[in-house]
Amino acid sequence: MSGRCPVPRERARSDPRWADVAATLVALRDRRRHAVRIVDTDCGCGTLLIAALAHARSLGFTAIEGRGLDRSPACLGRARRAAAALHDPAIGVAFDATDVATALGEEAEAPADILLCRAVPACGMAAGRVVIADRHADAIQ
């Protein structure tokens, strides 16, 4: 990702992946899940990830964990500041400047419930139970 950061958080719902994120969260709650873990492999300033975490909380999830990965320290700094505004003990989020391939290898050991990425082949299918890419979602289980 370049040093440019995406549009403000309220615009996350215009992301082509938003409908799949929202539908997956509803499906998990319908299965009486109370915990969810979401990883975003190209999080930028955290726009989509933070919106997804807040939406999970609004659906009644009580243990929400997010991890954002990006190469831009500037964007990650903005993401951390935006996440600090959540002020909700049910939501934990970390943003890491790390090699995505290495991070996804770690994630494959205990796959996230939702893995957000730009393209499925680039992000490693084993790292998430549901992989949501720019224009489609693929169920892993």
pLDDT in tens, 25-46: 999 999 999 999 999 988 999 9
Long-range (24+ apart) CB contacts under 8 A made by 1-6 are 1/42, 1/44, 1/70, 1/71, 1/72, 1/75, 2/72, 3/72, 3/74, 3/75, 4/75, 5/44, 5/45, 5/72, 5/74, 5/75, 5/78, 6/44, 6/45, 6/47
* pLDDT tens track for 87-120: 999 999 999 998 888 888 888 788 899 999 876 5
What residue spans define the domains of the chain? 20-32+51-110
